[in-house]
A and B are shown apart, each in its own frame.
Chain A
Amino acid sequence: MFEDLPGLKEHYLRCVRCGQCRSVCPVFEVVRNETATPRAKVFLAHMLASGELKPDAQMASLMSLCLLCQACTKECPSAIPVHKIVTATRSLLAREATSPLQRIIFKEIWTRPHLLNFSAGLFRGCQNLGLTGLGSSLGLLPPALSLPGPLPRRPARAFIQEITKAEGAPKMRVGYFLGCTTNFLFPAVAKSTVAVLARLGCEVVTPVDLRCCGLPQAENGQTDTAKSLADSNFAAFQRLGVEAVVTDCASCSAALQESSDLKGMEVLDLSNLLNDLLTGHNLQKVNKSITYHDPCHLAKAQGITAGPRELLDRTCTGFREMPGANNCCGGGGAFSFYHYDTSMNILNKKISSIKETGAEVVATCCPACTMQIRHGLIKQGLNIPVVHPVELLAQSLGLTFTT
């Protein structure tokens, strides 16, 4: 996440341009020409680093055509970390040819909780007045603005105390990283996470001064900002003496996982932790057929695929594996905003896979994927809820609360 392009030289030089990445890239699969391939991006990065090409808007546009899903990184016969090369190239391009809008959104607003709160409130106000819907239907606003759906009235932060006591004798003390998307869009997930952890004997520490995990900044060329956010979040946990952290957001956990190596902080996977804590518990299973979508930031970035399925097995009666569960949903953070149509074409494949299972509920561990998949299901008129496994677990444990 924090590498400089020159530091990745030994990797991009090693690309033999065999094109095997063509077989797995979800963007290439819908764009269908060489400019969308991962190897083209490695090629451009090489040309840029060696000075054979100069940064410009066309290059920034080609570099933005990547979900950073890491499918190519996993497939590459030469083990080239393509996603790191793309991230580093975006950072270089942002330094050389700054996009003012990108800088304002990712660096100035997103890094400041109060401004982010204010922006979310403003957005919700516009939604309530029907302005966003009107703007989209008149073509004045980008269609991707409809992705978040109606914002809940209050963010999760409004309900979650800095310290939540364990129910009964505390077994462990754990930090909860409350991510931005969960906070503003899915407060019920955050409440479930905290309540479930407390029920299972954890004292949950959610520092009040948490900021963004830094992933959106790193993915959009603001590496330095990402670094300072990581420092700030680490300090917040350190202030409260937390050594192990969990989060319900795959993207946040991937970002924390990468920066934690530098900080000596342990990042636990929520599903794996819950499976451990649940040993010996008898749960009232939710009587629904369910399928699961693997978030790229969990499955590809961290190799976590079994834990969430095990958790779903504990909490639901009928698990149905979808074909291509590990394929990207096309969200890719800001990707769906920059390339809405391409994103929707990728998403349609995911929706078809979901339909094929006939499941009543979709589960996934990433709020960004949840937002994207929910959008696709609604567009196709399908009444299939998208939930986090922890919400189902809360239900199995008989925890109820309002948001």
Chain B
Amino acid sequence: MDKGRLAAELKKIFPAERVLTGDLERKMYSYDSSFMARFHSFVPDAVVLPQSTGEVSAVLRLASEQGIPVVPRGAGSGETCGCLATRGGIVLDLSSWDTIEEVDTANMQVFVRPGVVHYKLNEHLAGLGLFFPPDPGSTRMCTIGGMVANNSSGLRAVKYGATEQYVLGLEVVLPDGQVITTGGVNCRALKNVSGLNLTKLFVGSEGILGVITKVRLRVWPRPKARGIAMAVFNELDQAPAAVLDVYQSGILPSGIEILDSSAIRAINMYKPEINLPSAEAILIFEVDGNPAGVEWEGAQIAEIVGRRAVSVEWATNPERMADLWRGRSVVAIAAARLRADGSRIFAGEDISVPLNRVTESLRRIKELGREFGVTVVNYGHIGDGNIHTAPVINLESPAEVARANGLVDAIHRLAIELGGSTTGEHGVGAVRNQYTLEEHGEAAEIMKRIKQALDPGNIMNPGKLLAPEGEIESV
């Protein structure tokens, strides 16, 4: 279908102001936060901004009939090209459909449309003494729809897990326009094991099976207190060992972050006033819960970690907590400032490894950086083995870009070799699907069969998540 006709058809479904077909308008939907999008121009044929399930259903019927790719998009804050029209087609910008439909406090759940921004949901819930625990770094912009589609998590996944643990049910529009509700049509129960768990199938499916138009989320009582401990280590190995000691003492912190020597150096260069001690590693523990419990756990952590660390500081005073957290909060920008012509790139940024291989991973990533001649800064969620590597390169140097691509591939392969995954929380999209077979073996074939059963025309976000076409057949 040519673009003119497509625009006309879409305007039969949507009011004109919610159909974007201008050259520049479409171009502004050609990027997300990924490294790959810097070097490609994935411009969609049209962008629509749905405000109802009926509109989504109608546009999917049109797309199915015409064989047009459809790509759902939230805030476009992802790092994987997941929301980009890599094969053209229609982008559904769901971010303006942001109604919190109902907070059912009696049943500890909330019903939201896909565009609700994470922090806005939690701001709303805070007034009711509730919260939705997963906490991605992108809280200020990412949408609940995007979080569900990517099964996002964040700093506090150590204690609270990922989005999947909170999704009770979904309204999904299938590629042919059919609308289903998973988790029970009228269900408001918190437990439900009847039927195949289609909710879990759609969570993390990155838009390749259908469009999520409504989410039923479990919410939790909001913790009353919080405290932070910062520990400094002269030997890298001591940091993960200290984490294990804490777990073995029966304490589950809400978050445990690591800054390695590369991150510490970057932070001190960027903001000398933060003045982190020059060390091999810094761990930041966060504890939350009831005030007495937080104090007790904090004191325990300080004592246990103190056996391995050169120094530990525990704080519950908000200003001091903010001070201890400052290094972590500026690490992303600090990385980019390591060199005047440098930019931090999002690639190879999200591997996840077994807890007992974290030290080895950090060491080998540094070695790989040296081998490929690329500066890297490492930080991440050490509590669950999720390492964020920030390569810093000159984007205008083709040689550096090529070396960065080599490094990123090596980091992904390292994760698989160590018994981990290429992605802990950011997703696969179009940037990690070449590793699907290596990571999943024969299960990759089953993924493909599920995709074919639900989306025989392959219109939903084609080219994402699954092994690239042709690869499975060749096995």
Contacts and interface: CB of A to CB of B under 8 A. Distances in A.
Contacts of B28: 34-35, 37, 40, 43-44
A44 B25 CA distance: 11
A62 B24 contact: yes
A22 B141 contact: yes
A23 B119 contact: yes
A17 interface: yes
B24 A44 contact: yes
Given A17-B32, A19-B76, A78-B333, A33 B141 contact: no
A77 interface: yes
A34 B141 contact: no
A17 B396 contact: no
B24 A19 contact: no
A22 B75 contact: yes
Contacts of A19: 33, 75-77, 138, 141
Interface stretch (A8-16, A167-175, A305-313, A359-367): A8-16
B33 A79 contact: no
Contact of B336 (A14, A17, A33, A47): A14
B96 A32 contact: yes
B140 interface: yes
A33 B24 contact: no
A20 B117 CA distance: 11
A362 to B, nearest CB: 26
Interface string B339-356: 011011110000000000
B22 interface: yes
Contact of B396 (A13, A18, A43, A62): A13
Interface in A46-100: 47, 53, 58-59, 62, 75, 77-79
Interface in B401-429: none
A389 B77 CA distance: 42
Contacts, number: 79
Contacts of A47: 27
Nearest to B142: A19
Contacts of B340: 10
A203 B119 CA distance: 52
Contact of B33 (A10, A16, A33, A58): A16
Given A16-B346, A19-B77, A20-B141, A34 B93 contact: yes
A79 B20 contact: no
B49 interface: yes
Contacts of B344: 14, 16, 78
Given A32-B96, A34-B29, A77-B333, A10 B341 contact: yes
B252 interface: no
B24 to A, nearest CB: 5
Contacts of B345: 16
B20 A20 contact: no
A53 to B, nearest CB: 8
A53 B27 CA distance: 10
B93 A18 contact: no
Q: Max chain A CB contacts within 10 Å: which of B23, B333, B344?
A: B333
Contact of B77 (A18, A32, A35, A75): A18
Contacts of B49: 32-33
Contacts of A77: 332-333
Contacts of B119: 23
Interface string A28-41: 00001111010010
Given A19-B33, A22-B141, A33 B395 contact: no
Given A16-B344, A78-B333, A78-B336, A58 B24 contact: yes
B233 interface: no
Contacts of B20: 33, 35
Interface string B90-106: 00010110000000000
B346 to A, nearest CB: 6
A23 B27 CA distance: 21
Contacts of A22: 75, 140-141
Contacts of A78: 332-333, 336, 344
A35 B25 contact: yes
Contacts of B47: 33-34
Contacts of B27: 47, 53
Contact of A20 (B95, B140, B395): B140
B1 to A, nearest CB: 23
B31 interface: yes
Nearest to B41: A52
A10 B336 CA distance: 11
A14 B24 CA distance: 22
B44 to A, nearest CB: 11
Interface string B26-55: 011101110001000000000101000000
A23 B141 contact: yes
A17 B33 contact: yes
A58 to B, nearest CB: 5
A32 B117 CA distance: 13
A58 B37 CA distance: 23
Contacts of A13: 343, 395-396
Contact of A58 (B23, B31, B141): B23
Contacts of B95: 32
Max chain B C-beta neighbours (<10 A), residue from A16, A22, A58, A75: A16
Given A22-B75, A77-B333, A17 B31 contact: yes
Contacts of B343: 13-14, 16
Interface in B139-186: 140-141
A261 to B, nearest CB: 21
Contacts of A44: 24, 28
A14 B345 CA distance: 9
A79 B333 contact: yes
Given A16-B346, A79-B333, A43 B31 contact: yes
Contacts of B138: 18-20
A79 B336 CA distance: 10
Contacts of B25: 35
Most chain-B Cβ atoms within 10 A of its Cβ — which of A18, A33, A62, A75? A18
Contact of A18 (B22, B24, B96, B141): B141
A34 B33 contact: no
Interface in B352-407: 395-396
A23 B140 contact: yes
A43 B76 CA distance: 14
A239 to B, nearest CB: 41
Contacts of B396: 13
A26 to B, nearest CB: 15
Contacts of B22: 58
A34 B29 CA distance: 7
Nearest to A78: B333
A43 B28 CA distance: 8
Scoring B20, B49, B336, B343 by chain A CB atoms within 10 A of each residue's CB, the highest score goes to B336
Interface string B62-84: 00000000000001110000000
A77 B137 CA distance: 11
A45 to B, nearest CB: 12
A28 to B, nearest CB: 10
A156 B333 CA distance: 47
A320 B95 CA distance: 34
A20 B137 CA distance: 10
Given A17-B32, A37-B28, A77-B333, 5 more contacts: A16-B343, A22-B141, A23-B117, A23-B140, A58-B22
Q: Which 6 A-B pairs have the closest CB atoms?
A: A23-B140, A32-B96, A19-B77, A40-B28, A19-B141, A22-B141
25 contacts: A10-B340, A13-B343, A13-B396, A16-B33, A16-B343, A19-B33, A20-B77, A20-B138, A32-B49, A33-B20, A33-B93, A34-B28, A34-B76, A35-B20, A35-B24, A35-B25, A43-B28, A44-B28, A47-B27, A53-B24, A77-B332, A77-B333, A78-B332, A78-B333, A78-B336
